[in-house]
Amino acid sequence: KVFATPAEVAVTVRYNSSQTALPTRKWGAFAPGTGVGGSGLHWTAVLIRPTPTDIKLKTYVDEAYKPGILQDDMRVMDFPFSWEEIEPYYYKFELICGQSGNTGNLRGKILEGGDPFEGPRSEPYPLPALDDTLNNVMFKEVATKLGYHPFPNPSACVSRAWKNPYGNQIAPCNYCGYCSKYPCLNYSKASPQTAVMDSLKRMPNFSYEVNAEVIKVVLNDDKKTAKGVIYIDAQGNECFQPAKIVVLSSFQLYNVRLMLLSGIGKPYNPITEEGVVGRNYAFLSNGGATLFFKDKNFNPYATAGATGQMFNDISPGNFDGPSLGFLGGAKIHSSQATGTPISTALPKGTPTWGMGYKEGLEEWYGHSMKISITTTCQSYRDIYLDLDPNYNDHRGLPLLRMTFNWKENELKLQQHLKGIVGNIAKELNPDSMSMSFLPMGADFDLTKYVSTHNVGGAVMGDNPKTSALNKYLQSWDVHNVFVPGGNAFPQNFQANPTDTIGAITLMAAQAIKDQYLKNPGPLVQA
């Protein structure tokens, strides 16, 4: 069991604040993990950095966009650090994971075969890229022909045997085909278990309790410090764990919920825009084209989760977004993440059950490839998280309520990407193809899987009036509470979030060790 169930951690969802939110009964658009390691146990393992422009998006908007081009209710922010500050922590996390890929920008020098748009790296990728599958080769050839700059998906499925800085061994990937949404039986995918836990368990001052759920952070009377947490153990007993420092390290949605349940930070009010916990929630959209070839066999059973080629030409600052009237971008890629027959795509008109489905599966398994998009998503005044007044969980505590829908900006982006993907697909000349993109006016569909890249809700920033956390992920209000995770992102970029989550967490850990333990208190003055 690696996925949380809605019975345990449901959220309620609505499009706008005039509606009554309803609870999720089955995961669809996203699927949080559970247990030790959480979603880090079964992730796809694409480990990519955002660009320096992504880190300073508000600065880019102020410089590149004239007033009136973007929606008035958009609330993008800069991350509260520079590329130069965060880059060493990216590299440290990538060493922990055994990141595999091609370097594109080494200390300002652009290298062939990598991403020319990436921020300057202090060191090359720790390991070479994964091997390409047939779809990668085809996509790379056509994308290059059309003027784009494809490169291998950066991967935490390691291409060679790797011993990380903690002394943990990660085995080389054997392309088993069971990767995305599966734990790795070959110990080839970086996860908390393979990359960190074995070293932690050897330390005499470390222990952990499984099958336990923290339900509240307990504050001291002054409300400026926490004294511990209340949790439910495996036997159903309510327990108190005293603590000098509390680190909330559950999934993004549940970090926000714990802060709200515990009274850490003022809840966000979208009408007045006062409060900080719950604001700047963002998700992402996907889409793409599925191409069918009768005479090509893509061998989908021989793949790693991160196997693929992508290009970053359509990310903020790398194309003329201002003239198109929207902010954002996407990584466009052809990936082959998992080879299970039940998940294979079939041509339009194939029956979805019975003998016709079986015949279609036999005919077309291994004969399709995808061109996909992973997009940015901006934050907005009326998109937020709070506690639901109507629905409680199995312990009687309010569920987290999500108010979210697509905005015009994100739908304009989808339409622009549709043209780019369509041109690549036509150049590949498939026997048939299908396209899936959000039309203008589309509503968020909770039933179809998109990604588990939920971000925001307890964001980091320089201003305690607009952010819940400072640059070290420390609560502005309760200084011995730290909240690492995707919750800290002020909006979502096109890069997968894991590399950035690792980097900001390592930066926070360094500050706790070097500064906070010696002199407990706020690490940044408000």
Helix (H, G, I), strand (E, B) or coil at 10: coil
Q: What confidence tier does 416 reach under pLDDT thresholds 50, 70, 90?
A: very high
pLDDT band at residue 339 using 50, 70 and 90 as cut-offs: confident
- For residue 496, the model assigns a pLDDT of 97
The Cα–Cα gap between 51 and 317 comes to 9
Residue 9 pLDDT more than 90?
A: no
* pLDDT of 298 strictly over 80: yes
Q: How many residues does the chain have?
A: 526
Is the pLDDT score of 526 beyond 80? yes
CA angle 151, 41, 459 (to 5 degrees): 75
* Residue 252, number of CB atoms within 10 A of its CB: 27
Asked if 329 and 51 touch (Cβ cutoff 8 Å), the reply is no
pLDDT of residue 216: 98
- Mean pLDDT value of segment 126-151: 98
Helices 134-145 and 408-428, axial angle in degrees (round to 10): 100
Query: What is the amino acid identity at position 138?
Result: M
**Residue 307 confidence (pLDDT):** 97
The predicted model gives 492-498 an average pLDDT of 98
Listed residue (499, 498, 509) closest to 474, CA to CA: 509
Q: How confident is the model at residue 367 (pLDDT cuts 50, 70, 90)?
A: very high
Q: What's the mean per-residue pLDDT of the chain?
A: 97
42 among known catalytic residues: no
Give 34's pLDDT tier (boundaries 50, 70, 90): very high
């730290």: which residue's tokens?
A: 482
Q: Would the CA dihedral through 228, 32, 185, 137 be positive or negative?
A: negative
The whole-number pLDDT of residue 254 equals 97
Nearest to 524 by CA among 479, 493, 485, 489: 479
Of the pLDDT bands very low, low, confident and very high (cuts 50, 70, 90), residue 2 is confident
Angle formed by the axes of helices 498-511 and 83-97, nearest 10°: 110
Which of 367, 416, 453, 479 is an active site residue?
453
Phi first, then psi: give them for residue 180, nearest 5 degrees: -60, 125
Q: Is the confidence at residue 394, as pLDDT, over 80? A: yes
In contact, 313 and 52? CB cutoff 8 Å: no
Q: What percent of the chain has pLDDT over 90?
A: 96
Residue 1 pLDDT > 80, yes or no? no
CB hemisphere CA count around 521 (13 angstroms): 4
Place of tokens 């054997």: 174
Q: What is the pLDDT of residue 358?
A: 95
Report whether pLDDT(393) > 80. yes
Q: What is the pLDDT of residues 210-269, one digit of tens each?
A: 999 999 999 999 999 999 999 999 999 999 999 999 999 999 999 999 999 999 999 999
Per-residue confidence at 172, pLDDT binned at 50, 70, 90? very high
pTM over 0.95: yes
Structure confidence at residue 338 (pLDDT): 87
Q: What pLDDT sits at residue 8?
A: 87
Average pLDDT score over residue span 407-418: 98
Q: Give me the pLDDT at residue 153, please.
A: 98
- List, for residues 395-405, the tens digit of each pLDDT value: 999 999 999 99
Per-residue pLDDT, 409: 98
- Residue 287 is predicted with a pLDDT of 97
Which parts of 330-407 fold into alpha helices (H)? 354-364
Q: Which ranges of 391-442 does DSSP label H, i.e. alpha helix?
A: 408-428
